[in-house]
Amino acid sequence: MTSNHELFDRARQLMPGGVNSPVRAFKSVGGEPFFTARADGPYLWDVEGRRYIDYVGSWGPMIVGHNHVHVRSAVARAIENGLSFGTPCPAEVTMAETITRLLPAVEMVRMVNSGTEATMAAIRLARGFTGRSKIVKFEGCYHGHGDAFLVKAGSGALTFGVPTSPGVPAGLADLTLTLPYNDLAAAQALFAEHGRDIAGLIIEPVAGNMNCIPPRPGYLQGLRELCTQHGALLIFDEVMTGFRVALGGAQALYGITPDLSTFGKIIGGGMPVGAYGGRREVMQQIAPAGPVYQAGTLSGNPVAMAAGLAMLELIQTPGFYAEIERKTRLLTDGLRAMAVEAGVAMTTNQVCGMFGIFFTDQTVETFAQATACDTALFNRFFHGMLKRGVYLAPSAFEAGFLSSAHDDDVIAETLRAAREALREARQA
Ligand code: PMP
């Protein structure tokens, strides 16, 4: 039998850090990652046959659980007809119709292959549409690895302490203005100074790459007003929140109409898919309708579209989101109760099926508060949970995700593990 350790050893010889995406390497929590052999429902199994309850869900897409039969059969049917055509295919049209029906602010859409592609294209479009060059992002927000976004970025960039990456030319980084998340006065001040140069403001409407931080009441509305007032485009990066915090994403949940939105994860049903879309007059600037160039050999791939469409069918089941919210609440309430019992200072944030665990006694509403939490305690807790068969995101700065396949028994099992892991983590 191949072991996790042996695979990681081989991987490290040939792949930077042994992985194809940094956070997977467990660098911040310590130890070595496990290698997944298969996944089903709420579970992952590693190559050594160990089972884990999974709260990462492939970093968000697996909202109906792993290997769902409806998605799998749709993919199997699509494969019968070929893997890639390089011509338009019917499923792309159905996908565009579905997305625009579920999100009224998205009047036109373009499919791409990842969240990174979606956000890169969205800011190019914002720049092309407005004729301005500056963009605004928020400290601790992550929008993929496009050069313009690797300035005070969250997620892996934050976890590894390189929030601004070498290789991003200063001339480009200078065009990215950064703001503290959840601070409207700071945004007002920035727009007062730079408003006429700002092409767009991009935000995770619920921050999910500095752990999970919901917007303060009125905050997103305030940003909407600022952008309108200064002629900048408001871009909601809903790669994580789209089809996750509500069927219509964060824009539906908070009742805000962004000019552009970006998507990924869930719309691909586990296949590599992203999308961006928004106001018709803005989207009409994209080639070949307009002059702003963006393209993709595999974009709108028939197999990926089939997976995504099957997923979008499942999440439209009445009561789907209410049930995920209830179960996530069961988990977060339970975790806090276990922390009290263990004498550990811990708070949680939750927006529907997205949650965050913070080792602090404060309610976390800002990046500064998130980074001030006890990460050493988180790391011990992470390993305590892993040892007991529960896989949390391997970083204190990532949100957790629940799927519809996590039932009450799975959550009860998680809480039993947490009771022990919290006691152990505190004592260390
Ligand atoms: N935007 C957000 C909000 C994300 O969370 C991520 C990935 N976690 C991305 C963009 C980039 O997506 P991808 O990894 O598919 O390129």
Q: CATH number of the domain that 415 lies in? A: 3.90.1150.10
pLDDT at 1: 74
State in Å: Cα 240 to ligand 1 middle: 7
Residues 6+ apart with CB under 8 A from 415: 331, 334, 335, 338
**Closest by alpha carbon to 140, among 398, 400, 402, 401?**
398
Is 173 found in the same domain as 105? Answer: yes
Whether 392 and 326 share a structural domain:
yes
d(CA 273, CA 307) in angstroms, rounded, equals 10
Dihedrals φ, ψ of 301, to 5°?
Answer: -50, 135
Give the position, in ligand 1's atom list, of the atom nearest the Cα of 272. Answer: 15
Pair (121, 250) in one structural domain: yes
How far is CA 379 from each of CA 291, 374, 424, rounded to the nearest angstrom?
Answer: 48, 9, 12
Q: Is 265 a catalytic residue?
A: yes
Q: Are residues 75 and 148 in the same domain?
A: yes
- Domain shared by 32 and 139, yes or no: no
Do 45 and 21 belong together in one domain? yes
Under a CB-based contact definition with an 8 Å cutoff, are residues 244 and 403 in contact? no
| Bridge partners of residue 409, in order along the sequence | none
Buried b (16+ CB within 10 A) or exposed e, 108-143: bbbbbbbbbbbbbbbbbbbbbbbebebbbbbbbbbb
Query: 78 and 43, same structural domain?
Result: no
**291, 314, 337: which is the final residue of a domain?**
314
114-120 average pLDDT score: 98
Interface predicted TM-score (ipTM) of this complex, two decimals: 0.99
3-class SS of residue 329? helix
Q: Is the separation of the CB atoms in 235 and 159 below 8 Å?
A: no
Percentage, residues of the chain above pLDDT 90: 93
172 Cβ contact list (under 8 Å, min separation 6): 147, 148
Atom of ligand 1 nearest to the CA of 274: 15
Longest dimension (CA), the chain: 63
Residue 90 structural domain: 69-314
Of the three residues 284, 314, 344, the one that is the final residue of a domain is 314
Q: What is the pLDDT of residue 165?
A: 83
Residue closest by Cα to atom 13 of ligand 1:
115
- Indicate the DSSP class of residue 3: -
Element (H, E) at 349: strand 347-351
- At 156 the pLDDT is 66
Q: Are 263 and 238 in contact (CB under 8 A)?
A: yes
Q: Which amino acid is at 137?
A: K
Query: Which atom number of ligand 1 is nearest to the Cα of residue 144?
Result: 11
Regarding whether 73 and 99 lie in a shared domain, the answer is yes
pLDDT of residue 408 exceeding 60: yes
Residue range 252-277: mean pLDDT, rounded:
97
Mean pLDDT of the chain: 96
Distance 209 CA to ligand 1 centre (A): 9
Confidence band of 157 (pLDDT split at 50, 70, 90): low
- pLDDT by residue (tens digit) across 39-51? 999 999 999 999 9
CATH number (domain holding residue 250): 3.40.640.10
What local confidence, expressed as pLDDT, does residue 65 receive? 98
Q: What would the two tokens of residue 424 be? A: 């152990």
- How far apart CA 52 and CA 86 sit, in angstroms, is 39
pLDDT at 160 over 60: no
Which atom of ligand 1 lies nearest, measured to the CA of 209?
5
Query: Quick check: 51 and 37 in contact, CB under 8 A?
Result: no
Pure H helices in 19-68:
none
264 with 371, same domain: the answer is no
Q: Residue 142 catalytic?
A: yes
Cβ-in-10-Å burial (0-12, 13-18, 19+) of 82 comes to exposed
Q: Which two tokens stand for residue 167?
A: 């290789």
| Of the residues 254, 288, 314, the one at which a domain ends | 314
Mapping DSSP to helix (H, G, I), strand (E, B) and coil, where does residue 296 land? Answer: coil
Residues 22, 118, single domain; the answer is no
Which pLDDT does position 416 carry in this prediction?
98
Neighbouring CB atoms inside 10 A of 87's CB total 7
pLDDT in tens, 361-379: 999 999 999 999 999 999 9
Q: Are 295 and 251 in contact (CB under 8 A)?
A: no
Task: Choose which residue among 240, 263, 397 to substitute to test ligand 1 binding: the one with the highest number of ligand atoms within 8 A of its C-beta.
Answer: 240
Q: Which residues contact residue 274 at a Cβ distance below 8 angstroms, ignoring those fewer than 6 apart?
A: 111, 112, 113, 114, 115, 116, 117, 118, 239, 262, 263, 264, 267, 268
- DSSP secondary structure code for residue 292 in this structure: B
Task: Give the residue from 420, 365, 417, 362 showing the smallest Cα distance to 392.
Answer: 417
Least confident of 2-11, 128-137, 156-165, 236-245: 156-165
Which residue in the list 27, 137, 265, 327 is annotated as catalytic?
265
pLDDT confidence bin for 427, thresholds 50/70/90: confident
Q: Judge whether residue 161 has pLDDT over 70.
A: no
Rounded to whole angstroms, what are the CA distances from 299 to 88, 105, 118, 177? 10, 22, 11, 30
**Domain check: are 166 and 212 in the same one?**
yes
Which residue is catalytic, options 46, 54, 237, 259?
A: 237
Q: Are residues 282 and 323 in the same domain?
A: no
Residues 6+ apart with CB under 8 A from 252: 103, 246
- Mean pLDDT on 43-66: 98
Q: What percent of the chain has pLDDT over 70?
A: 97
Residue 159: predicted pLDDT: 59
Burial 223-249 (b: 16+ CB within 10 A, else e): bbebbeebebbbbbbbbbbbbbbbbbb
Domain count, the chain: 2
- Residues with CB under 6 Å of ligand 1 are 59, 114-116, 119, 142-144, 155, 204, 208-209, 237, 239-240, 264, 274
Q: Which of 346, 344, 343, 325 is nearest to 401 (CA)?
A: 325
Q: For the chain, give the number of residues.
A: 428
CA of 339 to the centre of ligand 1 (A): 31
Helices (H), 170-273: 170-173, 184-194, 219-230, 249-254
What pLDDT sits at residue 182?
Answer: 98
